[in-house]
């Protein structure tokens, strides 16, 4: 399933499945891997090196959004 732009979804911080770690993200963009900007690609590469247990080596899409509780933290998956 590919998330829809402007929809809100629940996710778990750091992949830890526990009610105390659940948060919500409002999707702002869905971008195919071959169309991602260099800055986001570099952030993703750094993140995958630091947290290999959370990421696959390849991806089809980047999902961008913000955490609904603060509307400041732009994040991506």
Domain that holds residue 58: 8-76
pLDDT band at 7 (very low <50, low <70, confident <90, very high): very high
pLDDT at 77: 66
Is 1 contained in some domain? no
Across the chain, mean pLDDT equals 81
Q: Under a CB-based contact definition with an 8 Å cutoff, are residues 63 and 27 in contact? A: yes
Residue 42 falls inside a structural domain: yes
Whole-number pLDDT of residue 33: 86
pTM: 0.70
> Closest Cα to residue 9, out of 31, 21, 26?
26
pLDDT score, position 30: 93
Would 36 be classed as within a structural domain?
A: yes
pLDDT category at 5 given cuts 50, 70, 90 is very high
Q: How many domains does the chain have?
A: 1
Q: Tell me: the pLDDT tens digits for 9-30?
A: 988 766 667 777 788 889 999 9
């Amino acid at each position: 399933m590919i998330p829809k732009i402007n929809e809100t979804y629940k996710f778990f911080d750091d992949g830890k499945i526990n009610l105390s770690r659940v948060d919500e993200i409002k999707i702002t963009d869905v971008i195919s891997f071959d169309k991602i900007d260099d800055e986001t690609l570099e952030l993703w590469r750094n993140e995958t090196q630091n947290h290999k247990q959370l990421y696959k080596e390849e991806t089809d899409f980047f999902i961008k959004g913000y955490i609904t509780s603060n509307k400041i933290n732009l994040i991506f998956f």
